[in-house]
């Protein structure tokens, strides 16, 4: 048996206890041990609302109430934020709400929480790429800069290879990508565990013609299975077309129930329970639906603190939860009940204003009345003014051209303040786009002028021409006459709340077999929006002869039709109606359907209206309208030089700075 030939003697030196003392015997050891212990301690298991209360700071440039974020200020957002926490079983959170109730800040809290507590790839989608850039500057950058925990995880944009750009923020374990719903490339850029879809009702119907933006975005999260979170937020728009309403109706439809301060009954706030003395919005009070006692607004803070979300339906998908909130819940100091009443009173008499009130204050959809007006009623309402002239209220002209196989139909409309309009001329050019003379006649129409009632001669400020038939020929003609006066347009179905006209985009065209580097500038028009507007304008009440004798004016948007317009044109003008149809999945949506085959008059009106939008009429301040009125009632100005207003040679020549500004900005 082998035996060792030597023994191991004890090591010399200090004992193990002495060694440990030596390792900790230096200045600052306490700080090192404290930091080491903190590093071993796991992060607290916070919900999104708890994280926001502990770490979120609101910057003065991004909030009306800067300082530490307090969920208690908007108690109704607590459950919504906590549903976004990883420990909650909900995968899709839907929030249909009024404007300015704190929804976007709740979403930003979720972004901050994900960066700090639960890193992963995140996709944040705004209606357009430009809005995504603006949101990044105004919301996301302050979110990171004002929170030390986030600032330490996202490198400054100025550092080299920081991974911090306008639309991308890298952090340990994840990345935040921001994009617009109009960019298919951005929507399919990367898999995402978290998806924040903000203002989904303002998304275009299709992202670069590749499909529904919401569907494209959500597809990025499917590989994360039960760990994914999708947050859909929006103010609703039109019943049957609203994405957020469709998603809310498929959810469990939670409402925020608050207690009555008098009887304690729980109820969710409804606008029809808000009462006030006529003409005195300051007397607004809410009446309990159980005891009918009047509730003063100062009770709202306690009511919100005692509120709770309750489901009012059964969700088709148990992993989807939905929330609805109106501005009646707005905290004290934000939107008061008095201001809500004032907004309601101010909206009376205007469908457009009431629509905005329902969408932005009540957080509810607007029901479009799409019944076609009776053409015979329009026939009886025709007005008589001198043929070929522009009535005094018309301040500029636009035209809409509809290209058919055997003809080009053009309607010329005059526009005045409040988008009041007059049909000035209807022209049918025989021969389709393959007939050279047809394009020559259309060119002559561009140079034609119409006598204004005040003595000036007006030319077409902008002509919008449809590209749906023989687009290359339309592009070629438009290019030859300059895009300052001619706008090729492409009509798309669907309502677009953010902008009924988008563009222009450069499209390729083929001319003589040669590929053009940059094609025509094409504008995209949401035709449903302008059709609904036209029908709404046609339903406006008109003043009686007695009222006009007393000085009453036509309401903004009124449509004036001349005595010479024929029955066939009127039938075409109201040839479609808006109907509700059901999709294969059972969802309701609105769709324009023809009542008769020919509808050129309605199409030309839509294109002429789009031309007015492109010219900027929807965004002109009162000063520009006054300037146009002055120019039509006095001597030639820069508009004459631009060729859009022609006057007799005997008129004196004057010029003002505002005229030069108008020409420079291109709004004549």
pLDDT digits (tens, 9 = 90+) for 291-318: 999 999 999 999 999 999 999 999 888 9
User: What's the token pair of residue 637?
Assistant: 């100005």
Q: State the Cα–Cα distance between residues 337 and 276, nearest whole angstrom.
A: 10
Region 505-511: mean pLDDT is 63
In the chain, what are the domain boundaries? Answer: 48-253+313-325, 257-308+334-364, 386-566+600-633
Region 320-349: mean pLDDT is 93
Which residue matches tokens 């146009």?
A: 628
User: What's the token pair of residue 217?
Assistant: 């975005």
Which residue matches tokens 């002209």?
A: 397
Q: State the Cα–Cα distance between residues 228 and 328, nearest whole angstrom.
A: 32
pLDDT band at 11 (very low <50, low <70, confident <90, very high): very low
Convert the pLDDT of each residue in 221-279 to its tens digit: 888 888 899 999 999 987 777 889 989 988 999 999 999 999 999 999 999 999 999 88
User: What's the token pair of residue 239?
Assistant: 């019943």
Q: State the Cα–Cα distance between residues 158 and 165, nearest whole angstrom.
A: 9
Convert the pLDDT of each residue in 280-296 to its tens digit: 999 999 999 999 999 99
pLDDT band at 330 (very low <50, low <70, confident <90, very high): very high
For residue 667, pLDDT beyond 50:
no
For residue 645, pLDDT beyond 50:
no
Give the per-residue pLDDT at 371. Answer: 65
Q: State the Cα–Cα distance between residues 404 and 385, nearest whole angstrom.
A: 30
For residue 647, pLDDT beyond 50:
no
For residue 644, pLDDT beyond 50:
no
Helix, strand or coil, per DSSP, at residue 104: helix
The answer to whether 400 touches 633, Cβ cutoff 8 Å, is no
pLDDT band at 528 (very low <50, low <70, confident <90, very high): confident
Region 509-538: mean pLDDT is 76
Give, in degrees to the nearest 5, the angle at Cα 558 between 426 and 556.
Answer: 135
User: What's the token pair of residue 662?
Assistant: 């108008």
Cα 196 to the chain's mean position, in Å?
A: 16
Length of the chain: 668
pLDDT band at 345 (very low <50, low <70, confident <90, very high): very high
Task: Write the CA distances from 268 to 83, 265, 304, 321, 534, integer angstroms.
Answer: 20, 10, 11, 17, 36
Higher pLDDT, 3 or 65: 65
Region 576-597: mean pLDDT is 72
CB burial of 325-334 (b: ≥16 within 10 Å; e: otherwise) equals bbbbbbbeeb
Give the per-residue pLDDT at 358. Answer: 92
Q: State the Cα–Cα distance between residues 562 and 387, nearest whole angstrom.
A: 8
User: What's the token pair of residue 448?
Assistant: 């034609």
Query: For residue 277, is it left (φ>0), alpha (ψ between -120 and 50) or beta?
Result: beta
For residue 109, pLDDT beyond 60:
yes
Give the per-residue pLDDT at 12. Answer: 46
Helix, strand or coil, per DSSP, at residue 395: coil
The answer to whether 468 touches 525, Cβ cutoff 8 Å, is no
pLDDT band at 518 (very low <50, low <70, confident <90, very high): low
Report the number of secondary-structure helices (H) and strands (E) in the chain: 24, 31
User: What's the token pair of residue 178?
Assistant: 């921001």
For residue 193, pLDDT beyond 70:
yes
pLDDT band at 184 (very low <50, low <70, confident <90, very high): confident
Largest CA distance in the chain: 135
Higher pLDDT, 43 or 174: 174
For residue 422, pLDDT beyond 90:
yes
At the fourth CATH level, which superfamily is domain 48-253+313-325? Answer: P-loop containing nucleotide triphosphate hydrolases (3.40.50.300)
Hey, how many other C-beta atoms are within 10 angstroms of the C-beta on 666?
A: 12
User: Hey, which residues does 285 pair with through a beta bridge?
Assistant: 275
Share of the chain above pLDDT 70, in %: 84
Region 46-73: mean pLDDT is 88
The rounded radius of gyration (Å) of the Cα atoms in the chain is 32
Q: State the Cα–Cα distance between residues 30 and 27, nearest whole angstrom.
A: 8
Contacts (Cβ under 8 Å, ≥6 apart) of 274: 284, 285, 286, 287, 328, 337, 340, 341
Convert the pLDDT of each residue in 651-666 to its tens digit: 333 333 333 223 333 3
Q: Please, what is the average pLDDT of the chain?
A: 83
Convert the pLDDT of each residue in 359-418 to its tens digit: 999 999 887 665 678 888 898 889 988 888 899 899 999 999 999 888 999 999 999 999
User: What's the token pair of residue 521?
Assistant: 């500038």
Contacts (Cβ under 8 Å, ≥6 apart) of 500: 525, 526, 529, 530, 610, 613
Give the per-residue pLDDT at 649. Answer: 36
DSSP string, 434-479: T-HHHHHHHHHHHH-EEEETTS-EEEEEEEEEE-SSSHHHHHHHHH
Least confident of 1-10, 13-22, 447-456, 634-643: 634-643
Q: State the Cα–Cα distance between residues 621 and 400, nearest whole angstrom.
A: 24
For residue 3, pLDDT beyond 70:
no
Hey, how many other C-beta atoms are within 10 angstroms of the C-beta on 603?
A: 24
Contacts (Cβ under 8 Å, ≥6 apart) of 31: none
Question: Which of 186-195, 317-326, 485-494 is modeled with the greatest confidence?
Answer: 317-326
Convert the pLDDT of each residue in 143-173 to its tens digit: 998 888 898 888 777 655 567 788 899 998 8
Convert the pLDDT of each residue in 423-450 to its tens digit: 999 999 998 788 888 899 999 999 899 9
């Amino acid at each position: 048996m082998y035996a060792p030939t030597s023994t191991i003697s004890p090591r010399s030196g200090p004992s193990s206890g002495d060694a440990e003392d030596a390792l900790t015997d230096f200045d600052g050891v306490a700080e090192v041990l404290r930091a080491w212990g903190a590093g071993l301690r796991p992060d607290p298991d916070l919900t999104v609302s708890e994280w926001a209360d502990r770490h979120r700071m609101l910057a003065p440039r991004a909030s009306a109430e800067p300082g530490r974020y307090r969920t208690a200020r908007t108690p109704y957002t607590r459950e919504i934020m906590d549903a976004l926490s990883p420990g909650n079983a909900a995968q899709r959170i839907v929030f249909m709400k009024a404007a300015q109730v704190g929804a976007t800040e709740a979403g930003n809290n979720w972004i901050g929480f994900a960066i700090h507590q639960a890193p992963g790839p995140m996709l944040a989608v705004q209606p357009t790429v430009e809005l995504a850039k603006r949101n990044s500057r105004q919301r996301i950058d302050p979110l990171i800069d004002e929170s030390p925990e986030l600032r330490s995880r996202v490198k400054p944009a100025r550092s080299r290879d920081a991974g911090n750009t306008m639309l991308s923020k890298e952090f340990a374990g994840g990345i935040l990508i921001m994009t617009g719903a109009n960019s298919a490339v951005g929507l399919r850029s990367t898999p995402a565990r978290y998806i924040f879809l903000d203002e989904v009702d303002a998304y275009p119907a299709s992202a670069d013609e590749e499909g529904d933006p919401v569907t494209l975005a959500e597809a990025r999260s499917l590989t994360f299975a039960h760990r994914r979170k999708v947050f859909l937020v929006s103010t609703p728009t039109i019943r049957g077309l609203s994405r957020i309403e469709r998603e809310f109706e498929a959810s469990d439809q939670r409402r925020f129930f608050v207690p009555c301060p008098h009887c304690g009954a729980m109820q969710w706030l409804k606008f029809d329970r808000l009462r006030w003395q006529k003409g005195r919005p300051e007397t607004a009070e809410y009446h309990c639906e159980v005891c009918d006692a009047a509730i003063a607004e100062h009770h709202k803070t306690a009511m919100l603190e005692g509120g709770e979300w309750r489901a009012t339906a059964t969700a088709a998908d148990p992993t989807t939860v939905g929330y609805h909130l109106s501005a009646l819940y707005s905290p004290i100091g934000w939107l008061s009940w008095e201001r809500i009443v004032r907004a309601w009173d101010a909206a009376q008499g205007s469908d457009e204003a009431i629509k905005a009130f329902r969408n932005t204050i009540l957080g509810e959809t607007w029901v479009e009345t799409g019944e076609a007006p009776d053409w015979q009623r329009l026939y009886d309402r025709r007005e008589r003014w001198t043929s070929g002239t522009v009535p005094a209220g018309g301040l500029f002209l636009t035209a809409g051209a509809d290209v058919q196989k055997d003809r080009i139909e053009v309607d010329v409309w005059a526009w005045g303040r409040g988008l009041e309009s007059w049909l000035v001329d209807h022209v049918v050019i025989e021969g389709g786009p393959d007939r050279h003379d047809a394009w020559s006649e259309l060119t002559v129409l561009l140079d034609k002028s119409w006598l204004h009632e005040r003595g000036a001669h007006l030319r077409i400020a902008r002509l919008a021409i449809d590209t749906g038939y023989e687009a290359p020929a339309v592009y070629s003609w438009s290019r030859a006459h300059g895009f300052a006066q001619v706008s090729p347009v492409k009509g798309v179905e669907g309502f677009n709340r953010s902008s009924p006209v988008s563009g222009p985009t450069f499209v390729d065209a083929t001319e003589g077999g040669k590929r053009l580097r940059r094609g025509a500038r094409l504008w995209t028009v949401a035709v449903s929006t302008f059709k609904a507007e036209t029908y709404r304008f046609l339903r406006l009440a008109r003043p009686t002869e007695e009222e006009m004798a007393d000085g009453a004016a036509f309401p903004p948007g009124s449509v004036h039709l001349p005595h010479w317009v024929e029955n066939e044109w009127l039938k075409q003008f109201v040839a479609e109606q808006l109907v509700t149809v059901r999709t294969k999945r059972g969802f309701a949506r609105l769709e324009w359907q023809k009542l008769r085959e020919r509808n050129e008059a309605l199409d030309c009106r839509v294109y002429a209206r789009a031309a007015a939008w492109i010219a900027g009429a929807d965004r002109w301040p009162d000063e520009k309208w006054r300037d146009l009125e002055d120019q039509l009632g006095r001597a030639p100005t820069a508009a004459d030089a631009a060729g859009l207003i022609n006057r007799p040679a005997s008129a004196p020549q004057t010029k003002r700075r505002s005229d030069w500004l108008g020409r420079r900005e291109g709004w004549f």
